[in-house]
């Protein structure tokens, strides 16, 4: 229905044109909404970068626009954060299961009058469970925030319950330990001087530090896994105690969560270095 007020301001012969314009504008708005792709699973990093490049290349340049290299770095940072928190979340859920089971068993033994079980031991297990639940909440929130930021950079919407299990989380392939090695392998020509060279050398130091920490974390991860399996089995068979299981769970959480944090730090250090080199060149 056409508002009656229009008939007082527009000649009747203009009404068909007005109706056409309104329908056209509404249709354009609908098209813009539908243009935002809805993703039901996390794409690969390469696909995410391609989405961003296509989006920003189609937009008109703006003085306030974020440089594309910065956008690529932010995409990598948030993408890797999703994978990091995904792995850490799975670890925390596993630890939660062990803590929950241990609390139930310890309380049952305490109620039955087992003198080897103390209220203090039960309290420690409950505190360990509370800490794990806090980690789960934090990891879920970080994933939600990273997904929100990727929405902005990729120009997409996430489906309800989006699947993030697909992409593997591995260290970036980056064997270079000096600025010279990297520039030589990439045929980058002359080494920059002044502040540019300083920034690159500073960034490569961060890469090497993160690589060393990741290597150490990887070695500790295998030993910690074996420790938890042993202590959990001993407790289930009744030949272990709450204190040993509690300690094993805390160590397991710290080492494995720390491993994926070290992996994230290394990848981001590499991404920063490569982005910096491109900007300087």
Q: How far apart are CA 267 and CA 172, in angstroms?
A: 6
Task: Look up tokens 């139930």; give the residue.
Answer: 104
SS3 212: helix
Q: Domain boundaries in the chain?
A: 69-151+169-280
The DSSP call for residue 60 is P
What is the C-alpha separation between 260 and 88, in angstroms, rounded? Answer: 7
**Residue 268: pLDDT above 60?**
yes
DSSP 163: E
Whether the pLDDT of residue 5 is over 60: the answer is no
Six-digit token string for 122: 């039960």
Work out the average pLDDT over 185-206.
Answer: 80
Q: List all residues 6 or more positions away from 82 whose beta carbon is below 8 Å from its beta carbon.
A: 42, 143, 146, 147, 150, 164
pLDDT in tens, 59-91: 555 545 555 668 999 999 999 999 999 999 999
Question: Which position has the token pair 């996430």?
Answer: 158
CATH 1.20.1600.10 fits 69-151+169-280, yes or no: yes
Percent of the chain past pLDDT 90, that is, above it, reads 60
Max mean pLDDT range (16-20, 114-118, 201-205): 201-205
Angle between helices 68-111 and 119-154 (to 10 degrees): 160
- Rounded distance between C-alpha atoms, residue 145 and residue 158, angstroms: 12
User: Three-state DSSP class for 19?
Assistant: helix
Q: Across-strand partners of 156? A: 37
Q: Is 7 exposed, middle or buried (0-12, 13-18, 19+ CB in 10 A)?
A: exposed
Query: Per-residue confidence at 138, pLDDT binned at 50, 70, 90?
Result: very high
Tell me the CA end-to-end span of the chain in Å, nearest whole number.
61
pLDDT at res. 260: 97
């Amino acid at each position: 229905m056409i508002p009656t007020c229009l008939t007082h301001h527009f000649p009747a012969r203009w009404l068909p044109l007005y109706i056409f314009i309104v329908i056209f504008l509404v249709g354009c708005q609908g098209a813009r909404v539908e243009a935002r792709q809805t993703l039901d699973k996390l794409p690969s990093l390469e696909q995410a970068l391609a989405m961003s490049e296509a989006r920003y290349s189609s937009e008109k340049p703006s003085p306030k626009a974020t440089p594309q290299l910065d956008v690529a770095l932010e995409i990598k940072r948030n993408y890797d954060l999703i994978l990091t928190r995904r792995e850490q979340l799975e670890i925390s859920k596993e630890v939660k299961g062990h803590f929950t089971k241990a609390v139930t068993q310890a309380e049952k033994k305490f109620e039955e009058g087992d003198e080897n079980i103390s209220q203090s031991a039960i309290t420690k297990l409950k505190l360990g469970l509370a800490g794990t639940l806090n980690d789960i909440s934090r990891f879920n929130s970080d994933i939600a925030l990273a997904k929100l930021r990727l929405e902005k950079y990729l120009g997409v919407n996430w489906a309800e319950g989006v699947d993030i299990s697909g992409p593997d989380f591995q260290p970036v392939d980056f064997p270079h330990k000096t600025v010279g090695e990297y520039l030589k392998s990439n045929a980058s020509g002359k080494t920059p001087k002044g502040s540019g060279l300083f920034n690159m050398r500073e960034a490569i130091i961060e890469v090497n530090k993160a690589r060393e920490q990741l290597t150490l974390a990887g070695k500790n991860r295998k030993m910690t896994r074996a420790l938890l399996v042993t202590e959990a089995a001993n407790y289930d068979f009744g030949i272990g105690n709450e204190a040993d299981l509690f300690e094993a769970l805390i160590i397991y959480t710290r080492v494995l969560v720390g491993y994926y944090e070290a992996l994230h730090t290394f990848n981001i250090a590499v991404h920063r270095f490569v982005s910096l080199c491109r900007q300087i060149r």
